[in-house]
Amino acid sequence: MTKRFFAIFFAAAAAAALLIAGFNAAVDPFGIFGDRLFSWWSYDMTQNPRTAKIGYLDRCHENYDAYIIGCSKTSSFPTDRLNELYGASFYNLMMYGGDLYDVEKTVEYVLEHYGAKHIVVNIGFDELCDYENESDDTKGNLHAKVDGSSLLRFYAKYLFANPEYALDKISAYVKNGFLVNENRVFCAETGVYDKSLRDVEPISSLDAYLEKYPDFETTHTAISSMPDTEACLASIARMKALCESRGASFTFIISPMYANDLDRYICGDLFDFLTRLADITDYWDFNGYTEVSFEPRWFYDTTHPRNAVGEMALAFMAGDTDAYVPDGFGVHVTSENAAELSRYVRPAQEPSVRNREVPVPVLMYHHISDTFQSAATVSSETFRAHMQALSDAGYHTVSFAQLIAYVDRGEALPENPIVITFDDGYASNLEIAAPILAELGFCAEVAVIGESIGGGSEKLPHFSMEDARTWVEAGVLEIGAHSYGMHRTETRQGVYKMRGETEKAYVKAFTEDTQAVTSLIEDGLGVRPSVYAYPYGYHSDITEVILSQMGYRVTLTVQDGVNTIVRGLAQSLRSLKRHNVTEDMSPETLLADLKGLKAQ
C-alpha cells in the first residue's frame, strides 16, 4: 500500500511538474522559448528585457546589423537617427539598470552570434559606481547564452517558475488596450521604450512643469568616490578590442543627466575616469552642466533625458547644423582634450529659460461675413480692425510651419509672435480674410472639414483645395485638418469614443477619418498637413497618440490661454490653447485680452 501510494504521489508530482513546465513554455512570459503562442514580445521585454530581447533577436537578428547597448537612458537615442548616422539597421539593447558587466557580455554575444557591424555603448554615471550589480534572478538577470552560465539550469528555472507569471501574461493579453501600459512598455521592433504616450504630454511653462514633477527640485546626497573605476575602464578596453578584432566599429557615449542628479557624482574619481577613458577610446560626452542639464522639460524624470535630447546628441555627432542643438551641448573627447573638464564645473548662475522659449498666443476665428450672423461669425469690418490693431501693437503673425522650424531647428521668430487660425474652411476665409491678411503682411492657418471641402450650403459655402492653392503658395494661408466627418455632436461627440464602441473600433474609425482628410489635403495641395484642430476641442490620449504617429506635429484645442513654445521640445506644440474671437470684441478688448493671457 505504501509503495503504491508513493508511486501515485510521484507520478502526480511529475505530471504536475510537466504541466507547469508546458504551461510556462507555451505562455513564455519572459521570452525564453520563442513566444510562439502569443508572439507578444513587448510584454516579454517589459518583464525582463535582458532575456526577451535575446529571444527576439535569436529569431530575427537578420533584420539588424548594429546595436546600441546600455542602461535605460539608452532608450533616448532613437534608432532611426542612428540608422541615418551609421547607414545601418540598429536595434536598441537597453536594459533596466544595465551595468557595464551586462553591457560587455551583450557586446560579446551580438558580435559572435549576430555578426554586428556597429556597436554603440551608452552609459550614465550610475553604471560607473558598480561594475556588476545583478540583484534579481528572474527579471533582472542576463540570458544564459549571454553570460555563459548553465543553460540547463537557466531553462529549468523558467520552465518551473511560479505559474503566476504566465497567468499574469494571459490576463494582461485579454485586457491589453491601444495605449502603452504597465504590461507593455517596449517597442519590440526597435527595442526602445514605448514613449508614445509620454511624448504627446503637452508641455508649456517651466513653472507648470515643476509643479507637476517636483522631483526636479530635489537635492541628492553626493558620493565621495566611484569604487569600480578600474573595472569599468578595463571592461571598456576589452569591448573596444573585441570590436576591432571582429571588424566592427565601436562608439562610446556618456548620456546627459539633469543637473541636480549630476551634482552627486562630482568627485576626483569621476575626473580620473573621464581623462583615463580617452586613453582607451575617443568618446562623445553629452554630460556636464550644459544648457540641457538645467532644463527639466528636456527630461522625463531626473534620470532619463527625453528622445528630443537623444536626437540633439545624434545630430551633434552627425554634424547636422540644421537641427537645433544648444550651445555647449556635446564634446567629442580625445586624448588631446580629455583634461578640459570645465563642463563639469557648476556655473554660479543657471542658464535662463528665456533663450529657449517664447510665449505664443493663438487666435481662433471661423466665418467672416457681413450678412450671415451666428456666434462664430465676425464681420469684415471687425476682422480688419482686429488685424490692424495687432499690427499697430507690434504683433507679428507666424505660421505653424515657422513654429515647427523654431522647435526643430532653432530658427528665429519675430518679436511678439501670434498665430491666426480659422476653423471649418469657409469660402469667406479666402474671399474676405486672406486679402486683408495679405495687405498687412500677415498669415493664418485654416483647419478644414474633409467632407465639406468644396461644398457647404449657398449661405455657408466652403472652399476647395484648388481655390486655396494660390493663397497657400503665396504663404498667406496654410491648411490644417479639422477631421473628415467627425465635426458633429450627434451620435459621436466630435472625435470622442461613442457609448458602447469598442476601443479597437474607435481607433480604426478615428484613424480612417484622419487619413481621409489628410489625403484630401495632400492630394489637393501637394503638402501633407501638420496641424490638427480638434472639433469643439474634444480630444483624448488616444487621439493624441494616433495623430502623432500619423505625423501631425501640432494639435489645437479651444482651451483659453497662451502657449509656451520651447526650442528643441516638440511637445510644446501639442494641445495648444486658443483665444476665441467674437464680433462683440473690440480691438481694444482683444489687445487687453492678449496682455492678460501673457501675464498669467
* 574: β partners: none
Residues 193, 186: contact at Cβ < 8 Å? yes
Residues 24, 158: contact at Cβ < 8 Å? yes
Q: pLDDT at position 128, please?
A: 83
Q: Which residue has the cell 588631446?
A: 336
Residues 120, 68: contact at Cβ < 8 Å? yes
pLDDT tens, 507-538? Answer: 999 999 999 999 999 999 999 999 999 999 99
User: Which amino acid, 202?
Assistant: P
Burial class (CB in 10 A: 0-12, 13-18, 19+), 516: middle
Mean per-residue pLDDT, 569-577 = 97
User: Which amino acid, 447?
Assistant: A
Sign, CA torsion 147/150/155/157: negative
Q: What is the 3-state secondary structure (H, E, C) of 313-336?
A: HHHHHHCCCCCCCCCCCCEEECCC
- The answer, yes or no, to whether residue 98 has pLDDT greater than 90, is no
b or e along 27-44 (b: 16 or more beta carbons within 10 Å of the residue's beta carbon)?
Answer: bbbbbbbebeeeebbbbb
Q: pLDDT at position 135, please?
A: 65
User: Mapping DSSP to helix (H, G, I), strand (E, B) and coil, where does residue 358 land?
Assistant: strand
Q: How far apart are CA 189 and CA 301, in angstroms?
A: 25
Q: How far apart are CA 280 and CA 278, in angstroms?
A: 5
b or e along 157-183 (b: 16 or more beta carbons within 10 Å of the residue's beta carbon)?
Answer: bbbebeeebbebbeebeeeeeebbeeb
Q: How far apart are CA 3 and CA 16, in angstroms?
A: 20
Q: For the ranges 138-147, 234-243, 389-398, 468-477, which has the lowest average pLDDT?
A: 138-147
- The answer, yes or no, to whether residue 226 has pLDDT greater than 70, is yes
pLDDT tens, 59-76? Answer: 999 999 999 999 999 999
pLDDT band (50, 70, 90) for residue 437: very high
Sign, CA torsion 18/23/28/29: negative
User: Which amino acid, 48?
Assistant: N
- The answer, yes or no, to whether residue 1 has pLDDT greater than 60, is no
Q: pLDDT at position 4, please?
A: 66
Q: How far apart are CA 576 and CA 563, in angstroms?
A: 6
Q: pLDDT at position 5, please?
A: 58
Q: How far apart are CA 276 and CA 341, in angstroms?
A: 13
Q: How far apart are CA 42 and CA 167, in angstroms?
A: 16
Q: How far apart are CA 365 and CA 191, in angstroms?
A: 44
Residues 458, 406: contact at Cβ < 8 Å? no
Residues 68, 116: contact at Cβ < 8 Å? no
- The answer, yes or no, to whether residue 387 has pLDDT greater than 90, is yes
Q: pLDDT at position 558, please?
A: 98
- The answer, yes or no, to whether residue 599 has pLDDT greater than 70, is no
Q: pLDDT at position 11, please?
A: 66
Q: pLDDT at position 6, please?
A: 58
Q: How far apart are CA 535 and CA 463, in angstroms?
A: 18
Residues 509, 494: contact at Cβ < 8 Å? no
Q: What is the 3-state secondary structure (H, E, C) of 123-181?
A: ECHHHHCCCCCCCCCCCCCCCHHHHCCCHHHHHHHHHCCCCHHHHHHHHHHHHCCCCCE
User: Mapping DSSP to helix (H, G, I), strand (E, B) and coil, where does residue 360 land?
Assistant: strand
pLDDT tens, 252-267? Answer: 999 999 999 999 999 9
User: Mapping DSSP to helix (H, G, I), strand (E, B) and coil, where does residue 200 land?
Assistant: helix
Q: How far apart are CA 191 and CA 210, in angstroms?
A: 30
- The answer, yes or no, to whether residue 583 has pLDDT greater than 60, is yes
pLDDT tens, 290-337? Answer: 999 999 999 999 889 999 999 999 999 999 999 999 999 999 999 999
Strands (E), 334-380: 357-360, 362-365, 367-368, 377-378
Task: From 439, 457, 451, 438, select the one nearest 367 (Cα to Cα).
Answer: 457
Do the bridges between strand 331-333 and strand 283-285 make them parallel or antiparallel, or are there none, so unpaired?
Answer: antiparallel
Record the pTM.
Answer: 0.94
Residues 186, 49: contact at Cβ < 8 Å? yes
Number of Cβ atoms within 10 Å of the Cβ of 207: 10
Residues 6+ apart with CB under 8 A from 216: 209, 210, 258, 260, 296, 299, 302
pLDDT band (50, 70, 90) for residue 352: confident
Do the bridges between strand 357-360 and strand 563-566 make them parallel or antiparallel, or are there none, so unpaired?
Answer: antiparallel
Query: Cell digits for 584?
Result: 462683440
Q: pLDDT at position 7, please?
A: 61
- The answer, yes or no, to whether residue 222 has pLDDT greater than 90, is no
Q: How far apart are CA 468 and CA 449, in angstroms?
A: 14
